[in-house]
Amino acid sequence: MHEYDVTVTTSASPAIVWKLLVDAASWPLWSKVDSLDTTRSVDLDPGGDDGVGAVRAFRTGRTVTGERLTEKVEQRLLAYEDAFNSSMRNYHARIELAPTATAGTVIHWYGTYETSRLWALVMPRYLQKFMQGMAEGLARYAEESKPTQ
């Protein structure tokens, strides 16, 4: 079993971060994924508030991976598992949000997965870096999305 674990802090509120997380269509704006593949996604909410059971298919380069939402606690937790992924098995991830004392948000994004012996040589380091970039992109974009005072 392999894992990744990243934590970043943003000055954006949990409400702003949450809105970006639950709207699969926003992910290409702030993350390392290139696009949302709506033809392979299932049960996406047209209003941008995907629910438990939705499968969100993201394209990165030539690869499309599917993630099924498994748990959702408003402005606190979004969890998902692999629905289809050619390089990983038994993938489970959690994104936990915690408010800071200064009205910002701590984003804790972590997951576990299995992979083939060949992928095991490169995947742990690659995925740790990739997910760090995902969390940092979310934090930056959320800050840019903050309403002006």
Distance separating alpha carbons of residues 96 and 42, to the nearest angstrom: 23
Q: Based on the structure, what is the number of domains in the chain? A: 1
Distance separating alpha carbons of residues 66 and 43, to the nearest angstrom: 12
Return all residues near 34 (Cβ < 8 A) that are at least 6 apart: 28, 58, 59, 60, 61
User: 72 pairs with which residues across the strands?
Assistant: 78
For 16, the token pair is: 């702003």
C-beta neighbour count of 75 within 10 angstroms = 18
Helix axis angle, 123-145 to 14-22, nearest 10°: 120
Distance separating alpha carbons of residues 124 and 127, to the nearest angstrom: 5
Task: Provide the H-helix boundaries in 62-109.
Answer: none
Q: What are phi and psi of 84, to 5 degrees?
A: -160, 135
| CATH code where residue 88 lies | 3.30.530.20
Confidence at residue 149, expressed as pLDDT on a 0 to 100 scale: 47
- State which amino acid sits at residue 22: V
**Which domain does 94 fall in, by range?**
2-145
Q: What is the pLDDT along the chain (149 residues), one digit of tens a residue?
A: 889 999 999 999 999 999 999 999 999 999 989 999 999 999 999 999 999 999 999 999 888 999 999 999 999 999 999 998 877 889 999 999 999 999 999 999 999 998 877 777 777 788 789 999 999 999 999 999 866 54
Distance separating alpha carbons of residues 85 and 103, to the nearest angstrom: 36
